[in-house]
Structure formats: C-alpha cells, structure tokens
Amino acid sequence: MSTSDKDTVQDEASRSDQEASSSTANADNNEAESIDNKEDEMKRAAAKKLIERYFYQLTDGCGNSNCNNVYCASSKTFLFKVKNLSPNEAAAQAIQLFSQDARLCERHPNKMPRTQNQLVLPTSNSAQEQSESEKPKTPSAENPHTPSNDVKLSLCTESSSKNSKDTKANVTVPYLTEERLYEIIDKCEEKQCFAPLIRMLGEVYSDMTSLSKSFLQNDVNSPIDAILDKAGGDLTRLKKEDVRSLEGEKDKDEDMRSLEGEKDKDEDSCLSSSGCNSRQKKLPVDLSSVRRAYNALFKIKSSVFESALVNALVTLAGYLQVELQRKHDTYTTEDIVNILLIVFEIPALGSGEFLETALPALCRATTYLPTEVQAQLALAWSSPGRKSMRSILENLQQLITLRVILSNIPNIDIQDDNVITSATKLMKVVYYSNILAGVMESPELREDYSMDDSYNGLKLTRTQLPPDPLATLLGVNILDCRKPYLPFSEFYNEPLSDVVEMDRDFANFKSDMGKFSFMNYSFVLTPPTKTLGLYFDNRIRMYSERRISLIQSVAGQPSNPYLRLKVRRDHIIDDALVELEMIAMENPVDLKKQLVVEFENEQGIDEGGVSKEFFQLVVEEIFNPDYAMFTHQEDSQTVWFNPTSFENEAQFTLIGIVLGLAIYNNIILAVNFPMVLYRKLMGKRGSFEDLAEWNPTLYNSLKQILEYNEPDLEDVFMQTFRVSYQDVFGTVINHDLKENGDQINVTQENKYEFVDMYADFLLNKSVDKQFRAFYKGFQMVTDESPLELLFRPEEVELLICGSKNFDFYELEDATEYDGGYTTDTPIIKQFWELAHAFSTEEKRKLLQFTTGSDRVPLGGFSKLKLVIAKNGPDSDRLPTAHTCFNVLLLPEYSSKEKLKDRLVKAINYYQGFGML
C-alpha cells in the first residue's frame, strides 16, 4: 500500500473515529437530556445505567485489543492502570467520567447486575455438568464482535435447580429487574403494543420461582447505589466529598441517622427460639428498586395490564397456599419473604380489581405462613420496608372494611369470614413491625410485680395468658414501645368493631376448639368494643359466683351472692376500707361478686347509680391532702404516691382494690394518675421519658443537662448524685443515688447514668413499698381478667377515667326523649341552649346529676344513652334523676329563666336520695 493510500486510509479512519466519537457524544448528550426530562426515579435508573457502563469499562474493558480509548481498561494507553482501581475507586471515577461526558466504547457490553446475570442454576448436583453451550457468553479479544448483552424484549432467563435430577436440560425461568422493566415499557410505548408487557407480568407474577428471583439486590454496584442515594438520582446535586468518600476518605455523613432521624434499624438479624430484637442488615430484594419500577409501571394506564396482573397474583396465591399448607421444602423462607415483599409493594393493591380479587387470595394464602416466615416478614417491614407500612396497613383495612360491608348479613358470624380473619392475622405482622420500627425501650425495664403476691399470708395467684409465638420469636412486648412508627389508632377498624358480636367472640376466646377470636387480635378493635369483651368476662364471673352461693345455700351453707358494702356518708373511707379489708382477709374471692352499695339511713336501691356515687365520694376522700397518701403535682395536675406517707401498706392495698372494683363493675373514676402508673400496672417500670408527663419542669431541667455538650457542664449545672425532695410537712430530705453521692459531680461522662438513676428513684424505688401494696389490691380483683390482653396502658387509662372529649353537642345528638318530649319541644331547645352555655365545671355537675358520674364514658358521649323524660307540667319542683338508668325527669317549666334557676339548684345540691 502506497504512502498516499495509507494517508487516505488514516484520514478516513480519523474521520470515522471522529464521527464515532461525535456519535457517542451526541448519544450521551441525548441520554443526559432524557435524564433531566424524566421523573426522579427514571433519572436515577438512567444515570445508573450509564455509570455502570463507565464502571465496567474501567474495570473489565470493552474486549477490543485495538481500543484506543484512554478511559477503557482494554486500551494500551489506559490512564488508570497504574492505580489498580478498587471497586470503590472505580465507582468514583465512573461518576466523574459521566459528569465529564467522557468517551464510551461502542462495543462495550451494557452489563446487567452480576448478582442476577449469573443466576444460572444447574439441574444436576454438580456444576460441572452444565453444558458449555449454555454458559453466558462475554465479549473477548478473539471475538470483538460478540453480540451485546443489552436487554432484549424477550426476557433473560435462568436455569432452575428445582428440576428432576435425571433431566440435564435446563428450564428457563423468567425474572424481573428494574432495568428490564424499563426496557420493556419503553419498547411497548414506542410500538404502542403492550402484549410483551402483559406476557411478562403474567409469566413472572404467576410463578413463585420467577418472583422470588426478581428485583434482587445488586451487590457489585453498591458503591454506585450509595452515591446515587446521596444525590437522589440527580448527579447535579453531588458534592466533591460524596465522591471522595468512595475513594477511601471518611464519609462525613456516616453518623447521621437515617429516615426521619430515628435509630438505624439495620442491625444484624437474629431469630432464635428465645427471641431477639435485632433487625435484618440487608434484604435480598431491593425494595427501592421495586418501588421505582412500580412507579414507572403504573404511569401506564392501569387498564392495559391490570387484569393480567390480577390473574397472575391469584394464580401465585394459589401456588403459595398449596406450598405452605403442604409444608414443602421447595422454597426457602427467604424466597417466600421476597415474594410477599414484592407483591405488597404494588401501589394499587387496595383498590379496584386488586382489592376485590387479588388481595383476598393473597391474604388467604398468608394464613398458613409459619411463625419464622412471619417473623422475617415483620423484620423486613420494620426496617427497609417501613416506608410502605402505612400503605400496606391501609390496603388491609380497606379489605376488611369492604368485607364487613358485604358480609353484614343477619345470622352470619363475622369470625367465620376467612378473608377478614386472614387479613387480620396478616395485620398482626404489620402491627409488630410497627412496634419494631418505632422508639423502643430496654426490656430490662419490665418487672413482674406479682412475684411476691401475698396478702396477710394468703397467696395470690395470677392467671397467665398464653404467650403469642410471633411476639416471643421477635422478642416484642407492647410495653417496650415508647412511640410506634404509626399511631396505634390507625390499626383500629371501626366498621368491624361496630358489627362484631362480642358475646360470640368471647365464647370463641374461651373455647378450646381453636376458633378465631378478635380478642386475640385486639389491636384491630376500638376501646369501647374491647370494653364489651371485658364486660362479658366480668359478668360471667359474677353470675358464676351467684350460682356457687345458691348451691351453698341449698347445701346448708348460706352465703351472700353479692359484695355488699354498707357505709355512712360521713365516714365513707373508714367504713368502706374496714369492710373491704375483712373481705380480703377472709375470702378474697368475694371481691369477684357484683358490688351492691347501701348508704346508711338513705333509701335507694343500687342498680348502678348508688355504686357510681360511692366511688365518686371514695375517690374524693382518698386524694384529700389531709390523708397524705398521695402528693399533688402542680405542673401536670396529677397525683402520685407519697413516699413519706404514714399509712401502712394495707391502706394502699385497699385503694388498689377500689380501683380494681371500679374496672370490674364498669364504673368510671375521677382519678388523675400519670400514664406511668398504668404502665407500671401492666408490668413496666418508670423511666426518664415518663417524667415528661409526671413532672414537666423536672423533665425539661434534666433534658437540658443531657443536651448540654460543652466541657464546663460541672460548673454550669453544679449537680451531684445527691437529690432532694420534701415530705408532707415540707421538710427537705436528701437522698444519695450513689454511695457518697454528694461527692460525685455530674459530668459529660456520667450524665445519662445520673438521669436514669434519678428517674428510677422518683418513679420506682422511692414508692416501691406503696406501689407494690397498691398493685396487690388491684390484682386481687383483676387477676383473672383479660385486661392485659385487650388493653394497652393508655387504653387502661381511658377504661378507668373515661374519655377527655367533653363534647355536649355529641351528647345532644345521642340523647333520647320520653313522656311527650321531642327534639322540637321548646323546653328541650331551651335546655340545650343552657347546657351548651354552662362552664366546664357546671357541665360536669350536670353530668354527675343525671348519670352519677362526671366523666365521659369510653368512646365518648355517643356511648351514653341519656333520656330526658317529661315530669308533669310547670311547677316549682326541682328536676330529678334516676342515675341508675341515666334518666333526667324534667318538668315542663313555663320559661327559660325558671328552667335555669331550677336546673342550677338541682345540680349544685344533688347528693343523697329523695331530694326534690
């Protein structure tokens, strides 16, 4: 070849290279422009795809031995050979090349994640038996024109290890990745033909193997994923230090807490028979990728693929149910968890055909999940899956509500609806996930106060409810959850609570036949409905005591079928506590009988109203400062045990009995205990966070110490491990939290220890004797009750104290009328005008006068059936009331002024009987 010919060839080659470079640059520019135009999730996927090409070009090269690209490992002039790039360094350099729009080799394969690209499973036990022709081919120097591995419309496949050992031919199994779904969507939209997408969804989502291998984590590209996570998919937001962090420099953000400032939930997973609170470090399935893929998929009109996906999910649910019922070992726990994680991320699962067909089938299948799978699923949803927790919960709530509406047929037991029951069982997994994803306290704060239960030598036995296997495996206790990820109230299903028949449900709960009972899933029921379950349990026990008394009377051993208390109004504490102490000493079982109260020298049959007044008066006297059994916290307006009280333990035991009797007899009390008391009653010691409600001023002061990070803490706060408090006479008493506490200063090193010890002293140690006595009395009445099963501590407060929503408009809507009165009667309109204009204190007095209690019942005034009945024409008589039946007898006064005068007098002088 002549010199001129060579020059010509070189010129052509040069022009060709320039055109190729220009073509590459244009292509990259077009691709970069497309990133800017797409949504955030598409930006990330496209950017990641290009960066992967740079990454593999730097690490593996393009396979062309004649490559002259200085940014390609196959080139002899490769700029980075001397560096011997690590994966992190290569990832950082790839990002820089992307930002510079550097040259990409045309022949370089657009590799897919290796973790899934190499999922070729041999059918025999030996990997060597795999045919050479079936191995994935890669470009080489000897064959530089090997076809690219770019994603084609036909799905990439993998061999299945689940074939018979006698068959050596591999069976292709389709699976999905985010990139593959994007490619299929793009090609379908380009051709306006969605048949390939429909076929792909049908194949993958109807097959357990395919779905379990889809959307797996990409470990190779984790450095790229990490840096893109910082940028949110937009590389223009990257900072230099973000890139440097991949090259070995310290990541300045490594100590920042993830996701809403909470603690990192990604600790090493651990599940054992003894239970464990740890989390999964990393899921096999990439949930972020799944969410982005679904966002892209559901931007297409859902009617295009909805039926195909729904049918596939129904088929999948059938296979999953058979697999779980027969307990095959074909699929591992990880496989099943992967399938459920992917499926329950579908955003439309709670609407349309998905809600009516697919979700019920999936819930029925999950009924058979082993406890280990439930636990792994709970852990997965509590850490990386928690972003979808609310959506999953709402979908399950939608399904239950829909079924309740459709199943609201007379004589149909809702506990037999397998869709409702299976959705409720799955909701329990979400419930425990919600606890794990929240703010948790140490299990060491739990304490069994019943270990030394005895009273005057009589041993008290407490009924232990069977533990929940899932809670045991996870090491979860509701008392350890200081703040859940989602409010517990979001788990209530009001339509279900309104229609469930608690008498049947209670029978199922007590049955040994293994029937479903919502009492075992009490998180789904509203507190008023759960109260019915407690009511039935208490009433059945009362009736049982009556039958026993009747039998004893027939046998010549007469006994009182009721717990009768006869008291003097002026000596109510002395009389009540003396009688209760005698009963507790002689036969504590009598405390389980129905309470009947009689005031000496007063006429009145106790149908509930007399007992209400009795408890109201007892509470007023017990918390009277003259008794000095309790102290009053000014900041929080709550009462607490007096650590220096002169009263003996028996007095506190009897007060605990009174509180237990109020719950047992369904009576609301006007007590103002802080929440820490109810947590302690359920078995949890008080801690620093409980001080926020108990004593806000002290809590804020201690919090200032914790938040102060300067080295001069000792000089600023001048606090030692000696604390002070006052007795009932105002005398200051010093207490050392440690030996020689006045010589130990609070420093940056020991400030957390000081705060914990101080809170422990105030809420636990200083009142240990008083509280244990109080707890014993409470348990003497409620030891056999399913109280702990049904109620959380905050719900126990509602049960004892009633609702804080003092809405008289709600009371007006719930009130009924009798004797000729209606809502349109002038005096009734005048009555409510006056009632709404009353002060809060006057409203409480009116409520006390008409119902016997000044507290709002659990569930609000809508649960209170007040009746206003006509009591004759206009007269000078005062209104009267039957508090046992919540009936107000109101004469038809001639004017609004006269009504107000008589009503105000009545509510201010209501105590006793026969007052007119």
Confidence tier at 666 by pLDDT (50, 70, 90): confident
| Residues above pLDDT 70, as percent of the chain | 75
Domain final residue pick, 751, 778, 801: 801
How many residues in total does the chain contain?
916
Report, as an integer, the average pLDDT of 553-573: 79
State the pLDDT at residue 262: 39
Whether the CB-CB separation of 621 and 864 falls below 8 Å is answered with no
Confidence tier at 132 by pLDDT (50, 70, 90): very low
Q: In the predicted model, is pLDDT for residue 125 greater than 60? A: no
Residue 341 lies in a domain: no
Same domain? For 662 and 779 the reply is yes
Residue 894 lies in a domain: yes
Same domain? For 846 and 877 the reply is yes
Q: In the predicted model, is pLDDT for residue 84 greater than 60? A: yes
Confidence tier at 235 by pLDDT (50, 70, 90): low
CA distance linking residue 225 with residue 48, whole number of Å: 8
State the pLDDT at residue 409: 58
Confidence tier at 250 by pLDDT (50, 70, 90): very low
Q: In the predicted model, is pLDDT for residue 2 greater than 70? A: no
Q: In the predicted model, is pLDDT for residue 492 greater than 70? A: yes
Name the more confident of 229 and 654. Answer: 654
Of 47-51, 116-120, 342-346, 669-673, the range with the highest mean pLDDT is: 342-346
pLDDT tens-digit map of 897-916: 899 888 988 888 755 543 33
Same domain? For 779 and 822 the reply is no
Same domain? For 793 and 882 the reply is no
- By CB neighbour count within 10 A (0-12 exposed, 13-18 middle, 19+ buried), where does 205 fall? buried
Same domain? For 676 and 745 the reply is yes
State the pLDDT at residue 538: 86
Whether the CB-CB separation of 750 and 426 falls below 8 Å is answered with no
Of 187-201, 277-291, 555-569, the range with the highest mean pLDDT is: 187-201
Report, as an integer, the average pLDDT of 713-733: 85
Same domain? For 584 and 654 the reply is yes
Residue 791 lies in a domain: yes
State the pLDDT at residue 347: 92
Confidence tier at 612 by pLDDT (50, 70, 90): confident
Residue 538 lies in a domain: no
Same domain? For 763 and 812 the reply is no
- By CB neighbour count within 10 A (0-12 exposed, 13-18 middle, 19+ buried), where does 581 fall? middle
Whether the CB-CB separation of 30 and 83 falls below 8 Å is answered with no
Same domain? For 677 and 732 the reply is yes
Confidence tier at 672 by pLDDT (50, 70, 90): confident
Write out the H or E segment, with its range, that includes residue 539: helix 527-554
CATH code at position 670: 3.90.1750.10
CATH code at position 845: 3.30.2410.10
Residue 99 lies in a domain: no
Same domain? For 776 and 820 the reply is no
CA distance linking residue 786 with residue 664, whole number of Å: 11
Phi, psi of 125 (to 5 degrees): -75, -25
Assigned token pair, 680: 């302690």
Phi, psi of 723 (to 5 degrees): -120, 160
How far CA 787 is from CA of 599, 675, 767, 804, 887, in Å, comes to: 31, 16, 24, 21, 31
State the pLDDT at residue 408: 65
> How many beta carbons lie within 10 A of that of residue 238, not counting itself?
17
State the pLDDT at residue 390: 94
Same domain? For 724 and 826 the reply is no
Place of tokens 């949890």: 684
State the pLDDT at residue 251: 35
CA distance linking residue 705 with residue 758, whole number of Å: 13
State the pLDDT at residue 14: 52
Residue 17 lies in a domain: no
Assigned token pair, 825: 């009667």
Confidence tier at 129 by pLDDT (50, 70, 90): very low
Report, as an integer, the average pLDDT of 537-547: 84
State the pLDDT at residue 433: 95
Report, as an integer, the average pLDDT of 29-56: 60
State the pLDDT at residue 911: 55
Tell me how many domains the chain contains.
2
Domain final residue pick, 785, 801, 817: 801
Domain final residue pick, 775, 801, 827: 801
Confidence tier at 490 by pLDDT (50, 70, 90): very high
Q: In the predicted model, is pLDDT for residue 126 greater than 90? A: no
Whether the CB-CB separation of 524 and 493 falls below 8 Å is answered with yes
Report, as an integer, the average pLDDT of 821-849: 88
Residue 169 lies in a domain: no
Average pLDDT, the chain: 78
Same domain? For 730 and 820 the reply is no
72 has catalytic annotation: no
pLDDT tens-digit map of 386-417: 889 999 999 999 999 999 988 765 556 788 88
CA distance linking residue 561 with residue 391, whole number of Å: 53
Residue 824 lies in a domain: yes
Q: How many CA atoms lie within 13 A of 371 on its CB side?
A: 12
State the pLDDT at residue 354: 94
What is the residue range of 797's domain?
445-464+560-801
Which range, of 142-156, 327-341, 447-461, 602-616, averages the lowest pLDDT? 142-156
Which range, of 197-206, 554-563, 871-880, averages the lowest pLDDT? 554-563
Confidence tier at 793 by pLDDT (50, 70, 90): very high
Write out the H or E segment, with its range, that includes residue 562: strand 562-567
Confidence tier at 225 by pLDDT (50, 70, 90): low
Q: In the predicted model, is pLDDT for residue 265 greater than 90? A: no
Report, as an integer, the average pLDDT of 625-636: 82
Name the more confident of 70 and 363. Answer: 363
State the pLDDT at residue 436: 94
Whether the CB-CB separation of 274 and 165 falls below 8 Å is answered with no
Helix extents (H) in 38-86: 40-59
State the pLDDT at residue 48: 72
Same domain? For 820 and 762 the reply is no
